[in-house]
Chains A and B, each alone.
Chain A
Amino acid sequence: MMKTEIIGILILALFMCQTVSAYSVSPAKWEVTYDKKIVLQKVNLVINNNDNASISIRLSITASKSITTGYEPLPKEDYSWIKFNSTDITISPHAIYTDWMTIDVPNATENYGKNWQFYIYVEQYAGGEQQGTTTMLYDYNLNWRITTPSLKNTSNSGVTSGVNQMNVPWLFIISLILVIIILAVAVVVYRKEKKNRDDESPKNNKYN
C-alpha cells in the first residue's frame, strides 16, 4: 500500500539529546623498528568501549592508501605476515578489551632495509546506539609502519666512528693479517741477526 507521507516516529526523538561517547582504540599509530635482526613482533591492542551499548568490531588490514613519503606498501600487498588473535570482537558496555597481534616478517635478505606502511581497519559493524532512523557508527584506520634494519650496518647503536662500527669477523681478518706481517718481520729480523752473528763468529775465531 502506497502512502504519500512517511509517518513519524516522534517518540524516538527523545533519544536525540543523548551524548554518544563511542569507543577508542590504542595504539592508533605504531612504528615497528627492529634492532639488528628481523624477529617476531607481538603488540597488544586495547579497545575501550565507552558506549552504553555493546559494540561489535572487526579487525582487518586495509589496502594501502595515504602512504607517507619514504614508505611503501608491503610486498605485493600481502598481509599474511600480520595476524590478529581475534578478528571479530564484541565488547560489553563500558568494558575494556585487550587482544594481541603478531607481525612475522620473514627473516630474508630482501626484507632488510625496508620502510613499509599499512593500516589496520577497525570496523564497527554492529552494536552501539541503534534506535531511531539514523545511527552513527565509527571506524578507525590505525597507521602502522615497519622499519627493518639495513644489511650493511645491522647495528643501530648510533656510534658514528671508531672500531666498534666494524663487524667482529672483519676485525679478526685485519688482525690476522697484522699478526702475519709482524711475525714475518720478526722472523726476518731474527734471521738477519743470526746471520750477522754467524758472520762475525769466524772473524772472532780467526783473531783468536
Chain B
Amino acid sequence: MLFEKVNLEPDEQVLKIVRRHWFLITVELLVSFLVAVVPLLVLFLIMLLPDSFNALNVHLENFLPLSTFAVACWLLLSIMSGFMVWTHYYLDLWIITDRRIIVVDQIGFFHRNVSVFRLERMQDIEVTIRGFIPTLLNFGSISAQTAGHALHNFESRGMPDPRGLQAIIQKAMDARLARLHMTGTESE
C-alpha cells in the first residue's frame, strides 16, 4: 500500500489527504459512459427505423450473435477505459503531513511522479479559482515555491477548497518553523 512506499518519518502525522475535485472525475466518467452508450443507442435506433428509411436494407436481427459480440466487446473496452480514468483519479493525490507535502502525480499507468516538499522550505502559496463552475463548486489550482529550488515549484489543478488547503498548509508551515526554531534555541 501507499504509506509503506512513502516511508513516513517517525512521529510524522498525516494532516490531510487530498484528491482532485469530484466534479472533474464525474465529467471524465460521464464522457466514458457516453462513449460506451451512444453507439448502442444509435444501433437501437437503426433497428427501430422502418424499411423505407433503411437504405442499406440491413437488419441487425439477422446478425444477433455478431452484434451481441460487438456490443459486449465495445462495453468491455469502455468499462476498461472508465476504470483507467478512476485509477488515475484515485492514485493522483496530495498527502499533507506536519513536516512535508507529498505530491503523487499519476500521469499514466507507466508514468508516475512522486515529489516531496518540506514545509520549512516552502514559500508563496498561491491559489487560483478561475471560471464559473470552479467558483460555484469551490475548486481551483494551488501552486507553491520552495526556497532555493526554482525548478521544484509545483502546481496542482482542480484541487477542492484551495483556500482551505492553503490555510492548512500555512498553519502546518508555521507550526513546523516554530518547532524547528524551538529545537534550535534549545540546542544553543
A is bound by B: no
